[in-house]
Structure formats: C-alpha cells, structure tokens
Structure 1
C-alpha cells in the first residue's frame, strides 16, 4: 500500500504532461481571451460616443462647427458647463434657451415622483389582490395586466384629453399623474407576494395584527430589495420620458432635459452650439448614473435574491 501511495504523485505529475490535457487547457485559455476580447470590443463600441461627447464638451464652438472630432480634452470645459448650466448655452442662436440646471431639476422631480408613485400604487394593488378575498379579485388583476398590451400611442390621445379637461397642462401634476400607474410593477409585486408563506399571515392574525400592520411590519420589509430594484428601473423610465412632456408642457420653466436637448439642436441652416449641447448631454447622464451606482447593491440583490 505504501508503494501505491508513493506512486500517486508520479501519476499526477505524469497527467500534467499529458498532451490532451495541455491542449484542453490551451483551448480554455483561448476561449477566455476570446470572450474577454468580445466584451472589451462591446465596451469600446458603447463607450466611444460618450467619450466623444465628453471631449467635445470641453472645446469651443468653432472647433466642433468645423466638423473636427477631437479625441482629447480642450481648454473650454469650465466655460461650456457654466454656460449650459446657467443659460442653456451662449443663447446666441436661441434667445429662449432654458438653463440646464432648470431642466435637470424638472427631470429629477418628475422621475422621482413617477418612480415613487408607481411603486406605491403597485405594491398596494398587488397586496390587495394577493392577501384580500373579494368578488372579482382576479378580474381586476387581469384588467390591470391587459393594459400591458396597449402601447402608449394608443392611450396618449384620450389621456391628453382628460388632462386638458382637468386643467393639468403645464404642471408637474400633469407630467406625473397620467403615467404613475404601472401594470408591470403590480405583476412583479404580486408574484413576489405569492412566495410569502401562509404561516406569516396566520402568525400575524394570532398576534392580533390587522391588514395595515401586517403590510407595514412584514410585507414591506420583505419587499425592500424588490422596491430598490424597481426604483432604479422606474427612475430611469421617468427620466427618459420624451413624448408625454413634449405634448403636455409649453411652459419652458417646466421643460425636461430630454425634451430640452432635442430643442437645442437647430433645424435647417441654424448653427448648433454643439459644445453646449454636449455639455448638457453629459449633465443629463449624471443623475441616472448616480442612482444606478448608489443603489447597485440593492438593485442586483433585488433581481437575484430568491430565498425570502
């Protein structure tokens, strides 16, 4: 037996020199290099436009106007960002330019209210559908679910008419309330609530907890990661809203940054101030990126956590 044990390392050493094993490891290394190369190429393709925008925001208007595409920073970054933040550019071409600071504030308020409102309404409606028994419960749920099949363009004309009749145009309420409901979030919360054990409900009843107490002390804490994940998605959804703010807002003091960017690009022979446009675009990227970075841990946990 001692001789057999002594020979085992030799067998392992021999296996290290096996040509088939070396070939397999070489194929694995090539596969890893290929995968990393493809990922790096994808990152470069997606990052290059952002890099050009960031670099272009640091040059003067004449450099961009000549059609040059600089790949390194210029010396006008501070002036361009100050002009975009305070005046929406130099305002030579457009005397009604809206400051980027105002547009960013409007977009941040709108996106936050939309995300918070969608989560609040969806979690309450899903809680009612799962934990309450009333006639037509599933019928109401399917009515909510069917709205996923209706594109925004189908609903936008009647929604606009309702907002006009309620005198909500040119107001933050008109921007937020019509898009505050979310069938997708309701469906996701419902599916999560179905995984909560019935023993929790029975224990709450024994302790004398009512529906609101059970929701606040049990359901809401269990839903924190889901709420965080949905908040990131819904905040970006609200931030990127274009069609509805373009339709409902004519007051420039309520203009959002996505709409404002499109208006900064002139039509016809108008000269575009690309340095200010690029500076505003970079500023428009910062709030969504900050939300994703700050809530990344909760976002990933909410999407991947399965054990409750």
Structure 2
C-alpha cells in the first residue's frame, strides 16, 4: 500500500501546523469577566475559582490596565452589593456598586477598551432570582422588564458601552432597546444572552457574587435537553434588535453555538463560565491534565464552533500567551 493522499504532510512540524491552522484566536476576541464588590478594602479571593477575586475599584482599575496591555477586547463587570432587597434596588441606583464601577472604569479606560456591564437582578435581590417575584414566589416576566429598563438607562448613563442582558426574560431585548432609545442612548449596544441554559456549571459564580439564590432558575433559563430552543431564542433576540447574541455556557453547548453562528447576521459570542474554569483549575492542581494545553484547546474549540468572541476568566493569561508567540 502506497497512498498518494497523505494529510500528515501538513502536520510534520510546528511551523507547518501553525501555517495551516484553520482556527486562530486574537487577544481582541477575549473578554474578561470581573467582579467588583462593595464593602471590601482589598481584593477578596474566590475559593472555588483559584486566581479570581472580588475587586475593589482600585484593584479593578489595575486589572483593566493589565487587560488593555495584553490586548484583551473588553471587560464585563458584575457588581457584588452589601445590601439586597426584593426588587434589587441597588441595580439601578447611580451609587450602586455596579454603576459606580462602570463610571469609574469608563472614565479612565473607555477610549481604550469596551467597558461592559451585566444587566440582571440576581446579584441585587435578597432571593437571588433574576427578576421580581409575585406573591406566589414566581418570577414576573413583565414587571421584571421594567426593572431591566431602569437598569439599562442607569448603566448607559454610568458609561457602560455594552449591556449584557443575562436574565432570560421574554421580550427583554426589545424592552431595553426602547428604554435606551427613549433616554437618548441610541449608541449603547446590547449583548443578548440568547441561549442561556440552566446549567450545573454556574456553581462557582454563585460564590463570586455572594448569591442569595434558593431554588433554581429552570422556569426562565433553558432546559439543557433542548437544542432547537436555543436557536429559537437567538432568532427572537435578533428580531428584537440585539447587536450581539451569546450562548452560555460554552463547552457543553457547542452544537447550539454552531447553530446560532450559522444563521446570525450579528457577532456571536460564548461565555466560558465559572464551572468550566474551576474544573480545569482543579484537575490541573491534582496533576491530572496539562493545564495550559487544555485552556488553549478549550478556547480554540469554542471559536472553531462559531464564536466571534469568548468571555473567559483566562482572558489576560491567554492574550499574553498569544502575544508572546506572535
């Protein structure tokens, strides 16, 4: 046997493999999620996410400086308030921690990176749900939309350039877009968490934001069994005016990501969530995997499936690694 078709010819050296690689990642495709907390005077480590912290405003600024220097495309801010209530009053208060952080960082870095903010109530409610509850304890979709509209205007006025609508309420994109436009914020962009699944991978995030959640979010986040539903949600968000659509989590939902990327006429992003991060770090700490190779492989697989950008807690590390190889 003497085959003439030899695909191995293009695998014979590292320079050859690099030359013919089908998927490449640029640092600008990476977005760094960051937690900014109220009531702390130094960064507070997150035990389930080794290497990640709840930031003070000053430490957040230093981290954003690092991200910019590495070429990271943007930062997504999550607020961790000291006080919570049933309707998440701190979410749209101008002096609420998330809006203060957005204003603080946008003023300093808004012309160097894309300052983004999470638009959801879960960090700010004493019940931990992403919306306003009825007397029966169920999330009221339409009352929640009014809270999202107020949050959107507050975040835009603070200087956020991109609002991450992560609550999975029906009609949230159209409602927020209308509120922004009415308030004169036509240029503020919307990132729709379109296909956000009720995943077990969010556990470490709950620690990161001091979540008060009891129960689960299965009545508004999607069933992991459903692939077509993810595409349907993305199509609805596109029709409502989303500037970017996203799939979350990333690694267990690459099929949904590929489906959305095949039809979307706007950028498609994916979120490599806290549980994905924690599993790699834990396995690496035990010596079970090659940490650096797996991080690079995981991000490559997400981009290969169709993501134009990835939210990842390894954004700075990976951007620096890519830069060192360039």
Q: Under TM normalisation by the shorter chain, which class is it?
A: under 0.3
Structure (1 or 2) with the greater strand fraction? 2
Computing the radius of gyration from Cα coordinates, the structure with the larger value is 1
> Whose RCO is larger (CA < 8 A, sep 6+)?
1
